Chain A
Amino acid sequence: MPDAPGLELLAQDLRETDADAVVDTSYFRDKAALEVAPDSVRTVLAALREKGFRALMSVHGVDYWPHEPRLGVHYELLDMHEVDRITVKTRVPTDAPNVPSVTPDWPTADFHEREVYDLFGVVFEGHPDLRRILMPDDYEGHPQRRDFPVGGEPVHFTYNEYETPRYWE
Chain B
Amino acid sequence: MTDSTDLAPAELVTGVPALADEDSDELLTINMGPHHPATHGVLRVMVKLDGEVVKDAKPVIGYLHTGIEKTAEDKAYWKVIPVVERMDYLAYYFNAMAYVGAVETLLDLEVPPRAQYLRVIHLELNRIMSHLVWIGTAMLDLGAISMFWYGFREREQILDLFEYSSGQRMHTRYFQVGGVIEDIPVGWEAKVRKFCAEMPRRADQYAAILEKNEIVLQRLRDTGVVPEARLLELGVTGPLLRAAGNPWDLRKAQPYSSYDHFDFKIPVGTVGDNYDRFRVRHAELYESVKIIEQALDGLPEGPYITEDRKVALPPRHELATSMEALIHHFKLVTEGFRVPPGEVYYPIEGPRGELGCFVRSDGSSKPARVHMRDSSFTNLQAFPDMVRDGYIADFIAAIAMLDPIVGGIDR
Contact = CB atoms under 8 A, between A and B. Distances in A.
Q: Check A-B contact in the complex, CB < 8 A.
A: yes
Interface of A: 28-29, 31, 33, 46, 49-50, 54-58, 60-63, 74, 76, 80, 83, 85, 87, 105-108, 110-112, 115, 119, 132-136, 143-144, 146, 148, 150-151
Contacts of B10: 105
A47 B121 CA distance: 41
B105 A55 contact: no
Contact of A133 (B61, B106, B234, B356): B61
A50 B10 CA distance: 11
Contacts of B363: none
Interface of B: 5, 7, 9-10, 12, 61-62, 65, 67, 69-71, 73-74, 105-106, 108, 232-237, 248, 253-254, 342-345, 347, 354, 356, 358, 360, 368-369, 371, 373, 377-378, 380-381, 410-411
Q: Which 6 A-B pairs have the closest CB atoms?
A: A108-B235, A58-B373, A134-B62, A134-B65, A60-B371, A62-B369
Contact of A29 (B108, B236, B381): B108
A144 B344 contact: no
Nearest to A119: B69
13 contacts: A29-B105, A29-B106, A29-B344, A46-B9, A58-B371, A62-B369, A74-B343, A80-B248, A106-B235, A108-B236, A108-B381, A144-B70, A150-B71
Contacts of A31: 105, 344-345
A57 B62 contact: no
Contacts of A112: 377-378
Nearest to A83: B253
Contacts of A133: 61-62
Contact of A56 (B235, B342, B371): B235
B12 A107 contact: yes
Given A57-B373, A62-B369, A87 B345 contact: yes
The prevalent SS among residues of A at the interface is mixed
B342 A29 contact: yes
B108 to A, nearest CB: 6
Given A83-B253, A108-B378, A134 B61 contact: yes
Contact of A111 (B105, B344, B347, B377): B377
A90 B354 CA distance: 23
Given A31-B345, A46-B9, A63-B369, 18 more contacts: A29-B105, A29-B106, A29-B342, A49-B7, A55-B232, A57-B235, A57-B373, A58-B235, A61-B371, A80-B5, A107-B12, A107-B381, A119-B69, A133-B61, A133-B62, A134-B62, A135-B65, A151-B67
Nearest to B7: A54
Contacts of B232: 54-55, 80
Given A31-B344, A60-B358, A146-B73, A83 B254 contact: yes
B109 to A, nearest CB: 11
A110 B378 CA distance: 9
B229 to A, nearest CB: 10
A111 B380 contact: yes
Contacts of A83: 253-254
B65 A111 contact: no
The prevalent SS among residues of B at the interface is mixed
Nearest to B64: A134
A162 B345 CA distance: 46
B62 A108 contact: no
Contacts of A111: 377-378, 380-381
A71 to B, nearest CB: 11
Given A143-B67, A146-B73, A136 B344 contact: no
Contact of A60 (B105, B373, B380): B373
Nearest to B73: A146
Given A49-B9, A107-B234, A133-B62, A76 B381 contact: no
Contact of B69 (A46, A54, A106, A144): A144
Given A133-B61, A135-B65, A28 B343 contact: yes
Contacts of A49: 7, 9
A58 B381 contact: no
Contacts of B373: 57-58, 60, 76
B345 A58 contact: yes
Nearest to B377: A111
Contact of A28 (B74, B248, B344): B344
Nearest to B237: A57
Contacts of A115: 377
A54 B231 CA distance: 12
A35 to B, nearest CB: 11
Nearest to B74: A150
A62 B360 contact: yes
Nearest to A106: B233
Contacts of B12: 105, 107
A54 to B, nearest CB: 6
Contacts of A148: 70
A62 B347 CA distance: 18
Contact of B233 (A46, A50, A108, A119): A108
A56 B12 CA distance: 14
A56 B69 CA distance: 21
